[in-house]
Structure 1
Amino acid sequence: MYELFVLGELVTGDKHGYMLQEILKNAGGPYRQISSGTLYPLLSRMVDNGWIHLKLDETGGGKRPRKIYQITDAGQQKFLELMEKPLEFNMDTEHHFHFKMVYFRYVPKEIRLACLEQYLTYLETNLKHVTEFEAEITFYKPEPEKQRLQLMRVLDHRRQMGLTNIEWIRQEIEAVKSTEE
């Protein structure tokens, strides 16, 4: 997922490592932070793979030159491959989808639609699970009653959020379908 982020950001222009880390901190939200100990080894591996190029900028006036990263042709190809790769349905699906969606303008319409359709399937599967679990709880009425009632509130919240997300994604799919590209 972080490879996609780095390549996507470099598609938009050259950046230094600190800037990449700051953008990722904001993109991932307050509870999903990336450390320097994760980002810089990743950048080194990506340089080794030939996906990005490192150049030193000595015009900053500091003691050490800044490391500026730029995407290579191989990196452009890897970015496209990562954007085309189907979403995996797991605990990171939502974050991975959001990272992909940020870079939609850099990929063809069919890749955007495929990603949106995959995410719609993910949301519909989650909603089906919640609905079936609600029906099971309603039928069997497990005890204690107070816990059952609170569980039903939680499931109601999840169902409402799922319905809202599904409606938003369906509208997004229609918007992408109606674009010229």
Structure 2
Amino acid sequence: MYELFVLGELMTGEKHGYMLQEILKNAAGPGRQISSGTLYPLLSRLVDSGLILLRHEEESEGGRLRKVYALTEAGRARFHELMVEPIESHADSERLVNFKMVYFQYVTKDVRLACLKQYLAHLQAIRTYVKNFEAQLLKHRPEPAMQRVQLLRVFDHRLHVGEADISWVTQEIKRIEGEE
């Protein structure tokens, strides 16, 4: 996922490592921060694999060298591979879709639609799972009753959030399908 982010950000132009880290901190949200210990080894691997280039630029203050990264043609191709990769159902699916959506301007309409349709299927599968679990809970009525009631409230919340997500993604699919 972070590989997609780095390559996607470099689609917009050269960036230094600190700038990439700051953008990712904002994109990932307050609960998910990327450390230098994660980002810089990733950047090194991308340089070593020929997906990005590294050049040194002298900073105006302090005379230190700043590492500036740029995308190669191989990196551009890898970015497109990552954008068309299917979205698997896991805990980070939503974050991955959000990252992909940021870079939709760099891919075709078909790729955007495939991504959103995969995410819609993921959301619908979660809704089905929650409804089935809820039905089992109502049928078997496990004890303690207070915990069961609270769990049903959690399911109700998850269903409401899921319905809102499904509605938004469905509308976005229709909007993109209507584009020329």
TM-score, normalised relative to structure 2: 0.98
1:145 is aligned to 2:145 = yes
Residue by residue over 1:33-77, the C-alpha shift from the partner in whole angstroms, topping out at 9 and shown as x without a partner, is: 111111111101100111101111125243311111110100000
Q: What is the rounded CA distance, in whole Å, between the counterparts of 1:136 and 1:59 in structure 2?
A: 62
Structure 1 residue 142 displacement after superposition: 1.1
Q: Secondary structure at the match of 2:151?
A: helix
Structure 1 residue 166 displacement after superposition: 0.3
Q: Secondary structure at the match of 2:91?
A: coil
Q: Tell me what 1:126 maps to.
A: 126
Q: What is the rounded CA distance, in whole Å, between the counterparts of 1:114 and 1:156 in structure 2?
A: 29
Return 5+ residue gaps in structure 1 as ranges.
none
Q: Which stretch of the first structure deviates more once superposed, 82-91 or 55-64?
A: 55-64
Q: After the TM superposition, list the runs of 4 or more consecutive aligned residues in structure 1 that deviate by more than 3 angstroms.
A: none
Q: What is the rounded CA distance, in whole Å, between the counterparts of 2:50 and 2:66 in structure 1?
A: 20
Return 5+ residue gaps in structure 2 as ranges.
none
TM-score, normalised relative to structure 1: 0.97
Q: 8 Å contact 1:51–1:73 — kept in the other structure?
A: yes
Please tell me the residue identity of whatever aligns with 2:176: V
1:19 is aligned to 2:14 = no
Q: What is the rounded CA distance, in whole Å, between the counterparts of 2:85 and 2:129 in structure 1?
A: 25
Q: Which stretch of the first structure deviates more once superposed, 59-68 or 88-97?
A: 59-68
Instruction: Give the % identical residues.
Output: 58
How many residues are aligned here?
A: 180
CA RMSD of aligned residues (A): 0.9
Q: Tell me what 2:32 maps to.
A: 32
1:98 is aligned to 2:98 = yes
Structure 1 residue 147 displacement after superposition: 0.8
Q: Tell me what 1:74 maps to.
A: 74
Please tell me the residue identity of whatever aligns with 1:72: T
